[in-house]
Amino acid sequence: MKIFFLKQREKVKTKIIWTLQLIEELEKIPEVYLKHIENTVGLYEIRVQQGSDIFRIFCFFDDGKLIVLANGFQKKTQKTPKKEILKALKIREDYENEKE
């Protein structure tokens, strides 16, 4: 996730940070910023739009409090790439295994 963030333009980085702060501060987060990924257990996407560019950052919750950021990508098609979802699920699995 860190590499993805560092590769972005300054305006995109600012928007990502703004979106993360919004998620942290709001009690009920609109789907335009955070949405559950269908057909997964506990995987969400943080939705960031900067101009016409659309970015997604997959995340999950740890004990319902901490949001763990998994992987991010620039969305170029209507449908979320399956390989990105599988990558996020693998990151979550590795995270859970390391916790134990």
pLDDT of residue 1: 85
Confidence check: pLDDT of 63 > 90: no
pLDDT confidence of residue 59: 97
State yes or no: pLDDT of 11 exceeds 80: yes
Whole-number mean pLDDT of the chain?
Answer: 94
Instruction: Give one DSSP letter per residue of 64-99, joined into a string.
Output: TTEEEEEEEEEE-SSSPPHHHHHHHHHHHHHHHHHH
What confidence score (pLDDT) does residue 65 get? 80
What does the domain layout of the chain look like in residue ranges?
2-99
| The architecture CATH gives domain 2-99 | 2-Layer Sandwich (3.30)
Rounded average pLDDT over 61-90: 92
| d(C-alpha 91, C-alpha 85), whole Å | 10
